[in-house]
Structure 1
Amino acid sequence: MRYKLIVSDLDDTLLDDNLGYPESLVEAIAEYTAAGGIFTIATGRMTEPLLDCCRRLNLKGEAISYQGAIICDIESGKILEETDISNEIAVKICRRADELGIYYQLYKDGRILIKKRTPYTERYAKLCNCPFEEYGEGLTDYVINSGLEPVKALLVDEPMKIDTLLPKLQKEFEGELLVNTSKKWIIEMINKDINKGNAVAKLAKRLGIAREEIICIGDSPNDISMVEYAGLGVCVANGNKYLKSIAGYICPSNNEGGVAHVINKFGLEKSL
C-alpha cells in the first residue's frame, strides 16, 4: 500500500453542502481500512462534533480538532494532546474584538463562551449543535479572573468585513497567534505553534508513518499546511483558489464524493 494514512478536512470537503456524505464514502473507508490503511479527519470544529462524525463513519484511532490544537482518541474521546492560547493573549483578543464591535466566541473544554446570543450564534449553532455560555459584558472580566486559556477564538461577521479584517488581524497578532479562515464569515485564532500540518505530522510520528505515505484533502486556507505537508496534497474542486494551485491533485467537489474518489484512486489504487 503506497499511502498508509489519509486525512480529510470535514466541512466543504468530506461533508456535502447539506452536511451529509454519500454511502460510497462509508464503503470506500471500510474497504481502505480493511486493507490496512488509516483514515481520519482534521477539522477546525470542536472535538465533540468531530467525534460524532468519526463514529458515524466507523473510524478508529485518533482524530484532529480545533485546526490541530487537539488530538483525541476516537473511541474513548480522551484528549491526547492539547495546545491552548495563553490567558494574556486571550484577554487581548477579547479587548480587540470589543473595540471592533465584532461578535466572538471562545472555546474551552467543550464549552463555547459568548457575550450574548445573536443571529451569528444561531448560524454557528446549526453547524456545530453545541451549547453556549452567556457572560454579557462580563466576559472579558471572566477571562481575566478565571485565568482562562481557550483552545480557540472565533470571530464572526459578514464576508465583506471579514475579508477586510483578516489581513489586519494577521498582522496585529503575528508571532502570537495563527489567524486564518475556514469560511467567508469566520476568522479563527489558535496558538501560533499550531496548524493542521503540524498535527498531521505529530499523528504520523505516533503511527510510524512517513510523510510520503500520507494523503491530505482539504478546501480552505486552514488546510494549506496539511496539504503542503502530505506526500500527496489534494484539493476538492470547490476549494480555495490558492489551495488548488499548490495541491498535487484536484478531486471532484464535496457534493460529488471527492473524498471517496481519492480513497478509491490513490488509497485503493483502483482504475477510475
Structure 2
Amino acid sequence: MKLLASDIDGTLYRNYFVSNDIKKFIDEFAKRNIFILATGRNFFNFLLFIKKEEIQYNYSILCNGAFVLDNNFKVILNKKFKKIYIKDILYNLYLMEKNTEIIASHEFEQIIHLPYEKIETFYARLPDQINSLNLKLPKNNNKFINYLKKKEDLSFEYNNNYIDIIPKNINKGMAVELIRKNLKIKREDTFAIGDSENDFSMFDVVENSFYINKKKVNSAKYNVSCFEELINHMIMEKK
C-alpha cells in the first residue's frame, strides 16, 4: 500500500479546477492506497472544494495539520490553542487595518470577522479554544510579521499576503506521519506534493517529495511543474 499526500490550492486545484486526468488518477489510486488532501483550508472551505470537484480521498488534513479527518468526517486529530494567545495579535492588527479579513476555525465551524465589527465583539464571539486563525496581513506588514515571530506559544504558516496561526509544533507533516504510522505504511512507499513553504514539513516525512517550483529546496527530492509530472513518475515506477 502506498500513501500520497497532496496540497490543494496551487497544486491539485489550479486555475480554479482539477483536471479530469488528475481526478481519474486519484480515483484509481484511492481505491487501493491512501490519498490524503492536506491544506490550510478549514472544514467549511474544504467542503466547498470537495462538493465542487468531487475528489475521492481517504483522509483530510485541515488547518495546516490542526484538524484531521477520515473520509467519513471522523476526527483523527483535533489540536487547538486558547484564544487568549491571539487577543493582543487581533488588537494590534485592528489598529493597523480595521477591515482586514479574519477567519477563526473551530472544528466544523468558522467564525468570520464581519465588516466594521469591533475587534472586541469578534473576540467575544470566539470559543475558548480554536484550531486556527487565518488573517490577511496589513499592507506594511514587516513590522507586524516581526512582532508575530516573538510569539513562542503559536506556530505560523505564511502564504502570499495571508497567514495562518495554528497550535505550536503543528504542521502538515506531523499529520501525515501520524496517518502513516497508524496504517503501518512503510516510509519507502510514501509520496507528497505541494507548491508552498507550508508543504515542506510533508516533504520531511516522506520518501518521495515533489515541489511545484523551479527553486531547489533541501527537503524536496524532485522539482516539477505540475501534478501530472508526479503521475508520470508513479506510472514509470510501476514498470
Is the structural similarity TM-score above 0.5? yes
Q: Which residue of 2 aligns with 1:205?
A: 181
Tell me if structure 2 keeps the 8 A contact 1:152–1:189. yes
Matched-pair contact (CA < 8 Å) for 1:181–1:187: yes
User: What is the DSSP-based 3-state SS (H/G/I as helix, E as strand, rest coil) of the residue aligned with 2:188?
Assistant: helix
Are residue 12 (structure 1) and residue 10 (structure 2) matched? yes
Instruction: Report the Cα distance in structure 2 between the residues aligned to 1:68 and 1:177, rounded to whole angstroms.
Output: 13
- Structure 2 matches for 1:52-131, cutoff 5 A? 52-54=48-50, 56-74=53-71, 76-101=72-97, 103=100, 104-108=102-106, 109-116=108-115
- Post-superposition offset of 1:54: 4.2
Q: What's the secondary structure of 2:10's corresponding residue?
A: helix
Task: Structure 1: state its 5+ residue gaps.
Answer: 118-135, 253-257
Query: Would you say the 8 A contact 2:209–2:220 is kept in 1?
Result: yes
Which consecutive segments of 4 or more residues in structure 1 shift more than 4 A?
144-147
Q: Deviations for 1:201-226, whole angstroms, at most 9, x for unmatched residues?
A: 11112222133321111111111111
Aligned counterpart, 2:129: 149
- Which of 196, 202, 209 pairs up with 2:172? 196
How does 1:45-56 map onto structure 2 within 5 Å? 45-54=41-50, 56=53
Residue identity over aligned pairs, in percent, reads 24
Report the CA distance between 1:186 and its aligned residue: 0.6
- Among 220, 223, 236, the alignment partner of 1:247 is 220
Residues 142/166 of structure 1: CA separation in 2 closer, same or farther (3 Å cut): closer
Distance change in 2, residues 1:45/1:245 (3 Å): same
2:146 is the alignment partner of 1:168: yes
Q: Which sections of structure 2, spanning at least 5 residues, go unmatched? A: none
Match of residue 229 from structure 1 = 205
Q: Pick the structure with more helix per residue.
A: 1
Q: Any idea what the Cα deviations from partners look like across 1:226-257, whole Å, max 9, x if unmatched?
A: 1122111210137xx46x453100122xxxxx
1:30 counterpart residue number: 27
Which structure: greater strand fraction? 2
Give the deviation of 1:181 after TM superposition.
1.0
